[in-house]
Structure formats: C-alpha cells, structure tokens
Structure 1
Amino acid sequence: MDVILYYLWKKSKQQSHSNYRYTTTNCFLKTYIDNASATPEYEDKIVGTIKGFGIPVGLPWHLTDDVYVPINCNGEFHWVLAVVALKERCIKVYDSMSSSRTNRKLCSEIQKLSIILPKYLESSGFFEQKDN
C-alpha cells in the first residue's frame, strides 16, 4: 500500500500543471489518531501531517483537493484506501475485499476518523488557510 501511495505522491510532484491536487499520508496517520487521546505527542504529529511536515508527506492539506490515507483494518492483512475529499467534506472508502464482516470493522474505523479529523483540521488552521 505504501508503494502505491509513494507513486501517487511522486506523480503529483511531477505533474504540477494539473488542476487536480492531492497528497498522501503514510500508514501511521491512523495510528496517530488512535493514540491521540492518550498522548499529546500524537496530536502534534497529526497537525504536522495536515500542515505538510514530515516524511513522506507531500503537500499541506490546504493546497489539495483530496488526501489519500491507507488504513489497516484492526491489524489484519487487510488494507483499504480512504480518500478525504476536502472540498466535499466527506471520506470515500475503497475496499477491494468488501464483505459484511470487514465492513463492520471498517465502519468503526472510518467513523472514528470522521469524528476526530475535523478537530485536527480546526486546530491546524486548515479552514483559515484553505485556498478555494
């Protein structure tokens, strides 16, 4: 999954003339979100990711249309791609192994992301910087 996201990140860097702008996060963003309530260090990492700091983060989120986030489902060998559509203010989920068992686990993971992400977008100053 990280290889695919690295490719997309490199592609976005090479095609700066395109109107569609996106960035990727590494697979640790979900871990940061899961642990943010326990340790303030993780909150700083989330805000840093949104602002475009860290490796292999591409662009700051306020300069993009979408953010590609890989999510591991409960430590299993099952990954999905969550696309945070910033202009639409929604999360689109792409899952190649869709089943009712994984959908229940996935729904809770995405719900957690959808609840906590606006808080960190606000604290990072995303809404003040958003260039439409």
Structure 2
Amino acid sequence: MYYLRKKAKYGPNNPVRYTTTDCFFIKWVEAIHKQYKEYKNDKCFITADHNVAKIIRGFKLIANIAWDRVDNVLIPVNISEEYHWVLVVLCMKRRCLYVYDSFPGGAMHTNSIREVVERLATMIPLFFNCTGFCGKRNDINWITEPTYVGKSFDDPLEYVFVDHLPEQHPESNDCGLYTCAFAEYISQGVFEISEEDFDAALHRRRYGGLLWDYARKKQADGAISESEVTGNVTSRLGGPKICKEPVPQKEKLPRLKRKV
C-alpha cells in the first residue's frame, strides 16, 4: 500500500486520483468507534487531532495525500475474527464504500465483514465534519449531487459488496495477495476485475520479484530509513544522501488468460 500511495503522490499520469491507508487505520477507527458508542454517540472524541483525522488531512503516513484531493481511498481491512484481509474502497462522489472480498463465504463471514465496514461508514463522515472536509471540495456540489441529496454530513456512508470478483482457493491463504492486487487494479482505473483475466500465480511471482528487487537496492545503498520531508535516505555507507529512487510506471497489469 505504501508503494501505491507513493506512486499516487509522485508518479506522473495517474489515471485516477487516489490514496491509500495503512493496516493500522482500521484499528484506530474501531477503537474510536468503541469509545463513541460507550459514551452514547458523544462526538467530543471526534477531533481534528485524532490519528484518523490526521490521515484524512494528509498527515501521519509517509507519502500521504489529503483526502480532499482524491476521488478514491483504498483501505486494507483485516477481519481479525476471520484471519482475513479485504479491500474497502471509499468513493467520494458516490458517497459509498465498495467491499472487495476474494473469499465470499457464508452468513457469519459476511456479517463479520459487514460489522467492520459499518464502523467505517459511521466514523468517516464524523471525521469529515470535524476536519472541514466538505468545505475543501469545490468539485462536488453537496446540494445537488444525487448521492448527497437528503443526507446530513453526519449520516453513515452507503456500502456495497462487489460481485463477480476473482476468488481465492478455499484452502489457500491468499487473501493478502488478492487485496494488494485489487488495490493495484483500482489504482489504474480498473474497478470491474474479471476473474477470467486474473492469474494469482503470476501476481505472486511478480510481487515476490518486486519485493526482492526493492530489498536488494536498499541493501546496496545501505539504506536504513527514508525521510519524505527532506528527500534523504539515511545510509550506513556514508551518511545521508539524496534519494533518487524513481517510481516505476506500469502501462498495463498482467492479465493473462487462464489455461483451460
């Protein structure tokens, strides 16, 4: 997700405006939601200094982008009861959360995901309100936009479970792979992901190669940390130096047909 967030901020010619969160975002949302409910929907805890608000405002994460400058936010969500990862995509103009799940199961599985998504749907508008989010979006007419008509800024978001997605093998642990792949497709404007064109084995090899190459370059540079603010990489091989790592651009994602 950091790679995609970095690409969204620094990569040229991005087909869609997006940013991502990290794996801790949903934990902060769940914690503040629990506090919010325990105190009978008291909004005094919903402040611009909370970690959730800082992420929305474009802080807290490396290479973060303020949410008022994007159309979509890609949120990786871990369902701890299911030991399972899903991707939730917040679409600003549609005022909706889209759930990309590679392992649609029975009622208990769906309910576990729905509970987490409903917490997101409840808390995000409250943080939008406290950060003045709506006043920063000149591209959305809050009065005439169909999805906002008749809604207050505090009303929960809608959510939809996306159908006809590539599905992982029931006995596999590939939910993380599928979540990352879904995020990458969406970052390139592909929201309807065809199961017939999705090759999990190819993506696995590709991600393994990308991680190996990234680690090799960092090891060769002796890099131990990166500062987005200064643009420097701290190195064991001679102190700080300018980071010149480019953001690679991929014209197309691998979309090989499955063998029959």
TM-score, normalization by structure 2: 0.45
- CA separation of 1:19 and 1:97: change in aligned 2, threshold 3 A: closer
- Tell me which residue corresponds to 2:14: 18
- CA separation of 1:27 and 1:57: change in aligned 2, threshold 3 A: farther
- Tell me which residue corresponds to 2:215: none
1:35 aligns with 2:31: yes
Higher helix residue share: 1
How far the C-alpha of 1:16 sits from its partner, in A, is: 3.8
Q: Residue 133 of structure 2: which of 111, 114, 126 is its match?
A: 126
- 1:89-108 equivalence runs, <5 A: 89-100=95-106, 101-108=108-115
- CA separation of 1:119 and 1:41: change in aligned 2, threshold 3 A: closer
- Tell me which residue corresponds to 1:67: 73
- 1:107-122 equivalence runs, <5 A: 107-122=114-129
Larger Rg: 2
Gaps in structure 1 of 5+ consecutive residues? none
How far the C-alpha of 1:121 sits from its partner, in A, is: 0.8
Identity level (%):
30
- CA separation of 1:131 and 1:19: change in aligned 2, threshold 3 A: farther
How far the C-alpha of 1:19 sits from its partner, in A, is: 5.3
Moved over 2 A (4+): 13-19, 37-43, 74-77
- CA separation of 1:41 and 1:56: change in aligned 2, threshold 3 A: farther
User: Given residue 105 of structure 2, which amino acid in structure 1 is its aligned partner?
Assistant: S
Q: CA RMSD in A?
A: 2.2
For residues 94 and 56 of structure 1, the distance between their equivalents in structure 2, rounded to whole angstroms, comes to 25
Higher relative contact order, structure no. (Cα contacts within 8 Å, ≥ 6 residues apart): 1
Given that 2:81 and 2:112 are in contact with CA atoms closer than 8 Å, whether structure 1 keeps it comes out as no
For residues 93 and 15 of structure 2, the distance between their equivalents in structure 1, rounded to whole angstroms, comes to 14
Q: Give the length in aligned residue pairs.
A: 128
Gaps in structure 2 of 5+ consecutive residues? 37-44, 140-260
